[in-house]
Amino acid sequence: MSKVLITGAAGFIGSQLAYRLWKDGEDVTLVDNFSYGLEDNLIFEDHAFTEEILRKDIRDLDFMEELFREKRFDTVYHIAGITPLPDCQNMPVEAADVNVRGTVILLDLVRRYGAERMIFASTSAVYENNTDFPSVEEKVVPPSLLYPSTKYAAEQFCRAFSAAYHIPVVVLRFANVFGPHIDCLRTTPPVMGYLVREYYRGNRPVLHSTGEQERDFIFVEDLIDLALLVRKAEAFDTVNVGTEETVSINRIASMIAEEMGCPERKPEYAETAHFWAKYPELYAKPYPIDGKMMEHEVLKYTCLSKKHAKEAYGWEPKTSLRDGIKKTVEFSVAALERAGEKRA
C-alpha cells in the first residue's frame, strides 16, 4: 500500500482523486485549508473523508514538516491552488504565495523527506498567448494573466528541483475540467457549474460575446486515469490533459439545458467586457487593466494535444461529452439541493 499525500483534497479535483486512490486501497492523507474547498466534496456513497481530512494550510511550515517527517510519503499530488482568474488578478500576493511559494514548500519537503515523486496540477491557461493549435507541451508563449503566470512560475520550480535533485516531478496541464464535484456555488464558478446553477434557479444563463468560443473540456475521471498513470514517470515531465477536441460554450449550454429538462431556455448574451466589468477595482487608475487582454481571455480558444499523454503513458480520454455532462448535471443538482438551493 503506497502512502499518498493530496493537497487541495476538499476541492473538485482533489476530492475525486482522493476517492479513487482510497478505493484502490492506497493510504491517503488529505490536506485542505477550505479557502475554496467544500465539506460536501468529501462525502461519497461508501466513504466520507470529513473526519480524516487535515484542515491545514500548505504554507503552515511546522505542520507540513511534521506531516512529512511522520508519514514518509511515496507520492505527493499537489493539487491545492487558487484557481479563479479574477481572484488571482485581485489578490496577486496571495495567489503567488499559495500557487508559487506553496509549490516550492512542497518540492522542498519532497526533496528532504525523499518522496518518490510529485505530481503538480498546472493548467492549460499557460497557453493563453499561444497561437498554434493543438497546444504542445514544449511550446509556451509566456502568459500575461496572473493565474497562469503563477502556475507557469511554479512549473519552473518543478523543473528546477527536478533538474538539480533528479526528483521525478510531473506537471499536468489540465484543460477545462468538468464532472461531479464541479463547484456550482462559488462567486465565479467554472462555466459548467455556472450553467447548471442558473438553469436550476430558473434563470437564463448569461454568456459572453456570441458564446461561440470553443474550448477543450476534460472529464474528471479521465484526468484521474492519467494522474495515476504518470506515477510511472522516472524523470521530469510535462503532460497535457485534454481531449484535442473542442466544443462551443453555446453547445455546452444547450446540452446542459437538455439534461436539465429546459431545452427551451436559451442563454442571454452580454458584451465581452461584461465578465470583467464585475471587478471595477481592476480598472482603477493609475494602472487600469489592459482591456484587450481581458477580451482575449474571454474569447480564447483552447485545444490541447494529447499526443504525449498517449505515447508516453498509453492514455486516451474515454468519456463522451454527453455522458460526462449527464454525470455532472446529476451530481450538481443533488449538491444544489443539499446546499438548500430551491429549484425553480
- Interaction site with ligand NAD (CB under 6 A): 7-8, 10-14, 31-37, 57-59, 79-83, 98, 102, 121, 123, 174, 176-177, 183, 190
Q: Give least dist CB 241 to ligand NAD, A.
A: 8
Three-state DSSP at 7 gives strand
Q: Give the position of cell 447548471.
A: 196
Of 120 and 343, the one with the shorter C-beta distance to ligand NAD is 120
Strand-pairing partners, residue 73, are none
Q: Give least dist CB 304 to ligand NAD, A.
A: 11
CB within 8 Å of 248: residues ≥ 6 apart: 211, 212, 213, 214
Q: Which single residue brings its beta carbon nearest to ligand NAD?
A: 11
Q: Give least dist CB 264 to ligand NAD, A.
A: 29
Q: Give least dist CB 284 to ligand NAD, A.
A: 26
Of 123 and 272, the one with the shorter C-beta distance to ligand NAD is 123
Q: Which helix (H) or strand (E) holds 120?
A: strand 117-123
Of 7 and 213, the one with the shorter C-beta distance to ligand NAD is 7
Q: Give the position of cell 514548500.
A: 105
Q: Give least dist CB 240 to ligand NAD, A.
A: 11
Of 79 and 333, the one with the shorter C-beta distance to ligand NAD is 79
Q: Give least dist CB 38 to ligand NAD, A.
A: 7
Strand-pairing partners, residue 77, are 6, 119
Query: Exposed, middle or buried: residue 322 (CB in 10 Å: 0-12, 13-18, 19+)?
Result: exposed
CB within 8 Å of 235: residues ≥ 6 apart: 162, 166, 168
Q: Quote the CA–CA distance of 74 and 116 in Å, as a whole number.
A: 5
Q: Give least dist CB 31 to ligand NAD, A.
A: 6
Helices and strands, counts by H and E, the chain: 13, 14
Three-state DSSP at 135 gives strand
Q: Quote the CA–CA distance of 22 and 336 in Å, as a whole number.
A: 25
Of 84 and 168, the one with the shorter C-beta distance to ligand NAD is 84
Of 80 and 207, the one with the shorter C-beta distance to ligand NAD is 80
Q: Give the position of cell 461508501.
A: 46
